[in-house]
Structure 1
Amino acid sequence: MSLPSRLSGALKPMIDLAYPPRCPLCGDALGTQEGLCLDCWAQLDIPVAPQCGACQRPLPASLGMDDAPLCAPCMKEAPRHSGIAAATFYNDASRKLVLSFKHGGRIALARMMGRLMAARLGPLDPETVLVPVPLHRWRIWRRGYNQSGLLATEIARITDARVVLDALERTVATPSLGGLGRQARSKALQGSIRVSARGLRMIAGRRVVLVDDVMTSGATADACLTALLKDGAHDVRIACFARVVDGERGGSRPVAADRENETPEVPFGTPGAA
């Protein structure tokens, strides 16, 4: 066991005494500092089959668990990405987690969220490059961290894939995308994301996993995808903690697409929120 692991184990009783483990969603007591209580775990909407074989969009249960057909959007236009791995679908439970992580400073949630994302991704080749969706430097300065970078770092720790935190850079401080449709989002993002000088060297000819906390309309991921493929990535998968989908899903109420960016840009109820 490494020295950091031994120190962590030795300090754990004191940490638990000073900061009793609590579920980040409901506040109930937990046995460890990570994870959720059983009731809150049950509220997460975890993707299961049947789903689109190309983009993981949920499909009617009547298609059967072993089928992997394409959804209508992917049949209409083949996606440029090599798959979407979402740990959860975006509902009230995942929204609360992302709010706490992204705007509430609960960066310790990256460990649990990254673990769920890594499980959805499955084994990764060590030469795979994990690339977080970038934030503009002014937003990083205000927030103090890039939540996608924290998730990518955690996935790298679990999978042994390499992470390049600065492979992409956002050159324009785009306005909040909350309340905008896909076309408006795409227009706002146009020309705002590029591959960095270091990124050019690190992604050339490699498989890339683009990491984000929430995938909403897909406009941001598409802008990143365009830059990565244009500058030499072999292929690009998209990994996110929560993915927005439309329509009711059995027993779990998703957050409607027109509310999706209450979380990604500003918390719902904050002045100026969409």
Structure 2
Amino acid sequence: MASPPLHNGIKAAVAYCDLARTVVLRFKYGRRIGLAYTIAAHLRRYLEHLPDGAIFIPVPLHWTRLWGRSFNQAELIARILAKDAGQTLIPDLLVRKRRTQALGKYSARERAKIVSGAFAISPRYADRVRGKNIAL
């Protein structure tokens, strides 16, 4: 590849289908926070491939979405997985610099453009994560 990605790969817990979509939507918008354990259970198989010292970082929600949902679904799942893996979780390592629109109806290229520049590493953690393995 002329321009390889800056990551070691992307893993999906399940094939995206109607059932998976329903679970995710009930989790995110139906306040069914117990589903975090179900989703984490499907992701657990990837924990054995993580190197020691990996840092779990949830993607932050914009404050307006966090206020509307009352929780960050990515953080709930990351908390469970970090604990199971015996790894570190830093929930505030990434900061959201601006709100973005919902991405559901956009292509991968359009999504990348929309979120470009929306996130940054908190300056207080920059040295701590340099050269580390990250589970996002």
- TM (normalized to structure 1)? 0.46
**% same residue:** 35
1:41-190 aligned within 5 A: 77-190=3-116
Would you tell me which structure has more strand in proportion to its own residues? 1
Residue 81 of structure 1: CA displacement?
Answer: 0.9
Of 197, 205, 208, the residue aligned with 2:131 is: 205
Residue 116 of structure 1: CA displacement?
Answer: 1.8
Aligned-partner residue type, residue 99 of structure 1:
L
Q: Does the CA-based 8 Å contact 1:166-1:199 persist in structure 2? A: no
SS at 1:172's partner residue? coil
Q: Does the CA-based 8 Å contact 1:101-1:107 persist in structure 2? A: yes
SS at 1:86's partner residue? coil
SS at 1:169's partner residue? strand
CA–CA distance in structure 1, aligned partners of residues 64 and 81 of structure 2: 25
- Deviation per CA, 1:188-216: give whole Å up to 9, x if none: 22221111123314312211111xxxxxx
Residue 117 of structure 1: CA displacement?
Answer: 0.7
- Deviation per CA, 1:79-108: give whole Å up to 9, x if none: 321122221111111111111111111111
Q: Which has the larger radius of gyration?
A: 1
CA–CA distance in structure 2, aligned partners of residues 137 and 128 of structure 1: 27
Aligned-partner residue type, residue 199 of structure 1:
Y
Unaligned runs of 5+ in 1: 1-74, 211-274
Residue 109 of structure 1: CA displacement?
Answer: 1.1
Q: Does the CA-based 8 Å contact 2:47-2:85 persist in structure 1? A: no
Cα 1:90–1:170 change in 2 (3 A) is same
SS at 1:106's partner residue? coil
- Deviation per CA, 1:169-197: give whole Å up to 9, x if none: 11101122232233332232222111112
